[in-house]
Amino acid sequence: FDDKLSKKAFTLYLRQLDPRKRFLLQSDVDELGAFAEHIDDELRRGRMVLPDAGMQILGERIQQVRAMLDPIMNKGFDPEREDYLESDPKKISWAADRKELQDRWRRVLKRQVLDEYLNIVEKKKEKKTPTTEKQGKNITRSKIWKTAFDAVHKRNIHYLNRLLKESRQDHYNRYFDAVARAFDPHTNYMPPTSKEDFDIHMSGSLEGIGALLREDDGHIKVVRIIPGSAAEHQGQLQAEDTILSVAEKDGEPVDISEMRIREAVSYIRGPKGTEVVLTVRKPDGVKQVIPIVRDVVRIEETYVKSTVLKDSHGEKTGYIRIPSFYRDFNAARDAEKGRNVTEDTRSALVKLKKKGIVGLILDLRNNGGGALTDAVEISGLFLSGGPVVQVKNSQGMIRVLEDEDEHVVYDGPLIVLVNQFSASASEILAAALQDYGRALIIGGEHTHGKGTVQALVDLNRNLPLLHLKKYDDLGALKVTIQKFYRITGGSTQYKGVEPDFVVPSMLDYLKSGEKYMDNSLPWDTVPGVKFAPWQGARFNVYTAKKRSVDWIAKSKKFQEIKAMSIKAEERREQTKIADFLEGMKKERAEAALARKEMVAAGLIDQDSDPDTGRKKEKKSLDEELAEDPFVGLASFLMDEFTSAGRIIGKVQ
């Protein structure tokens, strides 16, 4: 850890301290900049000054912005004055003085008020009936403006108050994480709450009530109830309920209003079999006390899903979606039987084979990775033994991980779908199947490019010194310890996996992937290892590519995807946004048109939430796949090559 790494850590720390450049002045940045080359020295001494200095300066500036809020809002805004707001923080300089900072907040608040005003107007139009239209004449434009002003004022007061409640520990957590991420993007400090979230992500389960929550103007609201959860079985807690207080059975209730959602959740979660008592306010204003016995909440979106697709000849193609490489390490450590992705995939394959499938589509899109062991074991379900991936540690020692089981669970034709959000373990699986010639890989220009292995260091287990006990839970450190390489020698790091042929995607315009991340490790190679290419059913890549190009050219949906991706790229480049009424109306009209085009193209649902893109009523897996152009292309290829007997062929 030297001055060079210290500068990287400082840059990351500053970005986390004030990410949108709405509080610190240039003079503050200069003052804190004195620490830029000394973070390494601070850590060696064991006495950190920067997080305390940052906390003090930020706190003072937040107080000053809080004092600016009333004068700005009381003065009001000219909605017709042609202002613009730069939305990309990288293109904004730090404010030179408080006057410039106040003008920046004036523009931000004006945009928020105009946005709120237009939201109210649009909602009134949607709800208009003959009766409400008559009543609406009494609601003047000025009343709508006042409603918008009040909502924005209240929201920002809550936001600033919440920032002021950040603890010294929060600031140190931010500092430690910046130091960790200076090494590479996947080395992180994880405070206790983040460690808990990581365990939930890896296992696909948690112990609690099973309700998705959000913050709303200082209150904790229920967004939805997870199917099969304790809350659903109890039956009284519903979406849009506001949780006012939380208590353990026979315990004193804790008021969670004005509480940050992470803190509120810590009171609601708890061990299986214990009872939590929620006091909620229903949408109609009625208060209700709801007791719920906590249970294990299975997050079904995490788990393997499968179905059967039928082609034009009545032939069956299997489909398996692997959302992540989950494994319950805590259960394994405690000698319990936890759920894991390998066994779920094996089970899905066995069921699909019994249904008589002639081909299989394996969907790894949006799979961010997970357990390395499962990437190797799932590869083995499709291969008859042999090396899967090479792993190199920091000393340069290389270990080859192999599929040691020669039994193949599925030996038929295989197509793998990937995209820019397929990362880590999913890239290992895709790369191995590609290198063996075992599968045809279809996707965007490249996968994510995360070719590193992390270990989770539990700081409580690894620092058992008695004098540290007073600090309670220290959290964990996620550390990059290894890099993995394909059996052909190239790393998946930075470059990712290049599909056998590239198809148009709505993700093409995104600058997403390891190569776009701060401090990402470079691509390199190691010597390849010997392996025997797959001798069973396989696609002729050259012929498949040619047939795909023809199919995509005739596909209306893919042509629409191409056109919309270009438009999305143009919109992404336009970071300067309107801060006046007519300009914002124009932006909204353009966004509505883009959404209408996407609905018409079947890329999003008519009934999806325009703010989140999520479906209000979840479709079945079969309904989803019927509208998915990538699955359509894969099904076409499987149909073409199985029916015509063109599966067997030399990969070119």
Q: Assign residue 263 the CATH number of its domain.
A: 2.30.42.10
**Domain that residue 140 falls in:** 3-181
Catalytic residue list contains 450: yes
Using an 8 Å Cβ cutoff, are 523 and 483 in contact?
A: no
Q: 267, 298, 329 — which closes off a domain?
A: 298
pLDDT at 521: 95
The mean per-residue pLDDT over the stretch 444-452 comes to 94
Coil vs helix vs strand at 125 = helix
Q: Which of the four pLDDT bands, split at 50, 70 and 90, describes residue 192?
A: confident
Residue 187 lies in a domain: no
Q: Please tell me whether residues 218 and 170 are part of one structural domain.
A: no
Q: Please tell me whether residues 460 and 350 are part of one structural domain.
A: yes
Distant-in-sequence, close-in-space partners of 186: CB < 8 Å, separation ≥ 6: 450, 452, 454, 478, 480
Tell whether the model's pLDDT for residue 203 goes beyond 60. Answer: no
pLDDT at 652: 27
What would the two tokens of residue 174 be? 């931010």
* DSSP state, residue 503: -
Using an 8 Å Cβ cutoff, are 433 and 487 in contact?
A: no
Tell whether the model's pLDDT for residue 449 goes beyond 50. Answer: yes
The span from the CA of 627 to the CA of 330, in Å, is: 38
What would the two tokens of residue 180 be? 């960790």
Tell whether the model's pLDDT for residue 96 goes beyond 90. Answer: yes
The span from the CA of 500 to the CA of 236, in Å, is: 51
Among 264-268, 359-363, 438-442, the least confident range: 264-268
pLDDT at 86: 93
pLDDT at 399: 97
The span from the CA of 553 to the CA of 576, in Å, is: 35
Sequential DSSP letters for 584-603: HHHHHHHHHHHHHHHHHTTS
Q: Which of the four pLDDT bands, split at 50, 70 and 90, describes residue 613?
A: very low
pLDDT at 285: 72
The span from the CA of 56 to the CA of 72, in Å, is: 25
* DSSP state, residue 469: G
Q: Please tell me whether residues 113 and 168 are part of one structural domain.
A: yes
Using an 8 Å Cβ cutoff, are 33 and 194 in contact?
A: no
Residue 602 lies in a domain: yes
Which is the catalytic residue, given 221, 450, 478, 483? 450
Among 120-124, 418-422, 439-443, 495-499, the least confident range: 120-124
The span from the CA of 515 to the CA of 185, in Å, is: 11
Q: Is 158 exposed, middle or buried, given 0-12, 13-18 or 19+ CB atoms closer than 10 A?
A: middle
Q: How many CB atoms lie within 10 A of CB 498?
A: 16
The span from the CA of 257 to the CA of 245, in Å, is: 7
What's at 219, amino acid-wise? H
Q: Where are the alpha helices (DSSP H) in 511-612?
A: 541-554, 556-573, 581-600
Q: Which residue from 267, 263, 245 is spatially nearest to 254, judged by alpha carbons?
A: 245
Higher-confidence residue of 137 and 180: namely 180
Q: Which of the four pLDDT bands, split at 50, 70 and 90, describes residue 420?
A: very high
pLDDT at 509: 76
Residue 116 lies in a domain: yes
Which is the catalytic residue, given 424, 426, 520, 555? 424
Residue listed under structure tokens 């409603």: 147
The span from the CA of 598 to the CA of 514, in Å, is: 28
What would the two tokens of residue 93 be? 């300089």
Q: 298, 328, 355 — which closes off a domain?
A: 298
**Domain CATH for 326:** 3.90.226.10
Phi, psi (deg, nearest 5) at residue 318: -80, 150
Q: Which of the four pLDDT bands, split at 50, 70 and 90, describes residue 332?
A: low
- DSSP H/E element including 354: helix 341-354
pLDDT at 215: 76
Q: Where are the alpha helices (DSSP H) in 269-305?
A: none
Q: Please tell me whether residues 223 and 162 are part of one structural domain.
A: no
What's at 262, amino acid-wise? R
Buried b or exposed e, range 382-415, using 16+ CB within 10 angstroms:
bbbebbbbbbbeeeeeeeebbbeeeebbbebbbb
Using an 8 Å Cβ cutoff, are 603 and 562 in contact?
A: no
Q: Please tell me whether residues 213 and 285 are part of one structural domain.
A: yes
What would the two tokens of residue 500 be? 């056998």
Angstrom CA distances, 338 to 202, 272, 346, stand at: 11, 15, 15
* DSSP state, residue 272: T
Coil vs helix vs strand at 406 = coil
Among 162-171, 439-448, 553-562, 600-609, the least confident range: 600-609
Sequential DSSP letters for 325-350: B-B-HHHHHTT----BHHHHHHHHHH
Total number of domains constituting the chain: 3
The mean per-residue pLDDT over the stretch 355-370 comes to 94
Tell whether the model's pLDDT for residue 229 goes beyond 70. Answer: yes
* DSSP state, residue 78: -
pLDDT at 446: 94
- pLDDT digit string (tens) for 508-531? 777 888 999 999 999 999 999 999
Q: Which of the four pLDDT bands, split at 50, 70 and 90, describes residue 380?
A: very high
Please state at what angle helix 3-17 crosses helix 168-181, rounded to 10 degrees: 130
What would the two tokens of residue 611 be? 């703010």
The mean per-residue pLDDT over the stretch 278-287 comes to 82
Residue 194 lies in a domain: no
Of 160-164, 242-246, 360-364, 627-631, highest mean pLDDT = 360-364
Residue 616 lies in a domain: yes
- pLDDT digit string (tens) for 558-607? 988 888 888 888 888 888 988 999 999 998 888 888 878 777 766 665 55
What would the two tokens of residue 189 be? 């400090």
Q: Are strands 359-363 and 295-298 parallel, antiparallel or unpaired?
A: unpaired
pLDDT at 206: 61
The span from the CA of 174 to the CA of 41, in Å, is: 18
Among 72-86, 194-208, 290-304, the least confident range: 194-208
pLDDT at 69: 96
Buried b or exposed e, range 245-268, using 16+ CB within 10 angstroms:
bbbeeeeeeeebeebeeeebbbbb
Q: Please tell me whether residues 309 and 408 are part of one structural domain.
A: yes
> Could you report how far apart the first and last alpha carbons of the chain are, in Å?
47
The mean per-residue pLDDT over the stretch 318-325 comes to 94
Residue 652 lies in a domain: no
The span from the CA of 522 to the CA of 237, in Å, is: 50
Tell whether the model's pLDDT for residue 334 goes beyond 70. Answer: no
Among 357-366, 427-436, 594-603, the least confident range: 594-603
Residue 610 lies in a domain: yes
The span from the CA of 11 to the CA of 519, in Å, is: 11
Q: Please tell me whether residues 107 and 248 are part of one structural domain.
A: no
The mean per-residue pLDDT over the stretch 443-456 comes to 92
Catalytic residue list contains 562: no
Q: Which residue from 639, 638, 615, 619 is spatially nearest to 627, judged by alpha carbons?
A: 619
What would the two tokens of residue 572 be? 């992404």
Residue 449 lies in a domain: yes
- pLDDT digit string (tens) for 1-48? 788 999 999 999 999 999 999 999 999 999 999 999 999 998 888 889
pLDDT at 611: 40
pTM score: 0.83
The span from the CA of 24 to the CA of 197, in Å, is: 31
Please state at what angle helix 556-573 crosses helix 629-643, rounded to 10 degrees: 150
How big is the chain, counted in residues?
A: 652
Which is the catalytic residue, given 40, 241, 363, 435? 435
What would the two tokens of residue 409 be? 């669970």
Q: Please tell me whether residues 105 and 12 are part of one structural domain.
A: yes
What's at 326, amino acid-wise? Y
Tell whether the model's pLDDT for residue 286 goes beyond 90. Answer: no
Q: Please tell me whether residues 286 and 309 are part of one structural domain.
A: no
Angstrom CA distances, 403 to 29, 304, 486, stand at: 53, 21, 14
Q: Please tell me whether residues 304 and 293 are part of one structural domain.
A: no
Residue listed under structure tokens 């018409």: 600
pLDDT at 291: 92
Using an 8 Å Cβ cutoff, are 327 and 374 in contact?
A: yes
Tell whether the model's pLDDT for residue 95 goes beyond 80. Answer: yes
Q: Please tell me whether residues 232 and 293 are part of one structural domain.
A: yes
Q: 244, 271, 298 — which closes off a domain?
A: 298
The span from the CA of 201 to the CA of 324, in Å, is: 9
Catalytic residue list contains 424: yes
Using an 8 Å Cβ cutoff, are 239 and 224 in contact?
A: yes
What would the two tokens of residue 591 be? 């966004």
The span from the CA of 346 to the CA of 8, in Å, is: 44
- pLDDT digit string (tens) for 485-504? 999 999 999 999 999 989 99
Can you give 15-46 as a three-state secondary structure string? HHHCCCCCCCEHHHHHHHHHHCCCHHHHHHHC
CA 61 to chain centre: 31
State the average pLDDT for the chain.
Answer: 86
Q: Please tell me whether residues 105 and 227 are part of one structural domain.
A: no
